[in-house]
Amino acid sequence: MNSQSQMQELDFLLVGQEKVVLEQDARVLQQAGYKNIRIVRSGIEARHVLKNSRVRFVITDLQMPCMNGIELLRLIRRTPGLSDIPVLIISDNRQKEMILYAIDERVDGYLATPYRAEDLRQSINNIHKRKKLTALQNELRLARHLILAKNYEKAIDKAKAVLAHDQNNSEALFILCEGYYWLGELDKAKQFLNIYLKGNPSSGKGTHLLSKVCRLDGAWGDAFGLLLKAHKENPLNLDLAIDLGKLYLEMEMEEKAREVFREVMSSEPTDLNFIKIGKAFLKKGRLEDAADFLNKTVQPLPETVYVFAQLALMLEAAGNFEAGVNQFKRCLELVPDHPVYLVKLAEIYLKHGEVAKAKELLEQCLKSHPEHDQARKLLESIARGAA
């Protein structure tokens, strides 16, 4: 990542597939006095810009392949250093469930299409007004940062301080729930989640977390009932649907799981959806199903490469050499010259007697990572064998 002094300053990052619409919105912003505006055509490109620029505001389309607007929003909210960026989602989807889903993930604004230039300006102005923090809101912001930094005890203290002044503050309650969940204090997490959900009965996020708490506590029936309820209330939340399918798999109810996953497949799934389903089948040792879903991905995030690597190792161990090799090649497409995957693939080639290919990969590894001990040792063993 670039150093802070070298990072580009962007007033707005516009994300979406419709070039004409993006350019129209950029002109509206320029007429309003904003100069530093960047347009990208996908959530994956947006992720790259966010990592390498200081972005003050994101406007994103909802429906995009590979990574949709909700997934981009979640990435921003869950990444230290990005979590406070205002996000406006634009969509032709006016369904209440989708808007509630976006609100649940802490979107700052949701603008339905078609809209006028004045509507866009007004939405941005309203968001800027709400972003002027009071003292309590600043405490909440700090508490969210502490959760992201995994400093759960301090986050809980901050949330309690907010609740001392505003006992019905739903965001403080949820931070409290998250903190106790991650600390493993399940009774307290459950207690405050029930309070939170009493005031926010439509929160899929809250119901989802309570389901996780119940699962950790061994209350599988309660966990299942909560997920089923949340899924029925908001079938547009594909993360809830996938988690329900995963739970069906864990409960050995495979046909029900497949039924849920078929629903997901009919709802414009993204790469992240495919990967989550693939992981669920990997966990059950269903390699063919896992490969089927993982191979549907178009432009998966580099952070998900470990899933493809796990599949590669399991395929090779099951005797499917060619499929294992192809999955490791996919890993190297996602993270070029990664030493772990170069060496793992070389080891597979050596195991199957393809010494020249293994040697080429190990030399490639040492070229970019000259201190890599395992690659050096394997090359030395190849040299001794050839002597």
pLDDT band at 386 (very low <50, low <70, confident <90, very high): low
Phi, psi for 160 (deg, rounded to 5): -65, -40
Residue 22 has pLDDT above 60, yes or no: yes
pLDDT, mean of residues 340-365: 94
Measured CA to CA, the distance from residue 312 to residue 337 in angstroms comes to: 17
Residue 5 has pLDDT above 80, yes or no: no
Closest by CA position to 345, among listed 369, 322, 377: 322
Q: What is the mean pLDDT of the chain?
A: 93
Cis check: omega of the bond before 201, within 30 degrees of 0? no
pLDDT, position 127: 93
pLDDT band at 7 (very low <50, low <70, confident <90, very high): confident
- Give tens-digit pLDDT for 203-225: 989 999 999 999 999 999 999 99
Phi, psi for 60 (deg, rounded to 5): -130, 145
pLDDT, position 244: 94
DSSP codes joined into one string, 344-356: HHHHHHHHTT-HH
- Give tens-digit pLDDT for 167-204: 889 999 999 999 999 999 999 999 999 999 999 998 98
Residue 233 has pLDDT above 90, yes or no: no
Where are the domains positioned within the chain?
A: 4-130
pLDDT, position 6: 67
pLDDT band at 3 (very low <50, low <70, confident <90, very high): very low
Residue 287 exposure: Cα atoms within 13 Å on the Cβ side: 15
CA distances from 193 to 21, 181, 284 (A): 41, 10, 30
Taking domain 4-130, whether its CATH number is 3.40.50.2300 is answered by: yes
Closest by CA position to 22, among listed 50, 41, 8, 35: 41
- Give tens-digit pLDDT for 61-89: 999 988 999 999 999 999 999 999 999 99
Rounded to two decimals, what is the model's pTM? 0.87
Joined together, the tokens standing for residue 14 give 């516009």
Residue 94 exposure: Cα atoms within 13 Å on the Cβ side: 5
Residue 133 has pLDDT above 80, yes or no: no
pLDDT, position 2: 47
Residue 1 has pLDDT above 50, yes or no: no
pLDDT, mean of residues 305-314: 96
pLDDT, mean of residues 34-63: 94
Higher pLDDT pick, 335 / 131 = 335
Residue 126 has pLDDT above 70, yes or no: yes
pLDDT, position 165: 92
pLDDT > 70 fraction of the chain, expressed in percent and rounded: 98
Q: Give the number of other CB atoms < 10 A from CB of residue 359.
A: 18
How large is the angle between the packed helices 204-216 and 238-250, nearest 10 degrees? 20
Closest by CA position to 89, among listed 116, 71, 107, 64: 107
pLDDT, mean of residues 281-296: 96
- Give tens-digit pLDDT for 241-275: 999 999 999 999 999 999 999 999 998 899 999 99
- Three-state secondary structure call for residue 281: helix
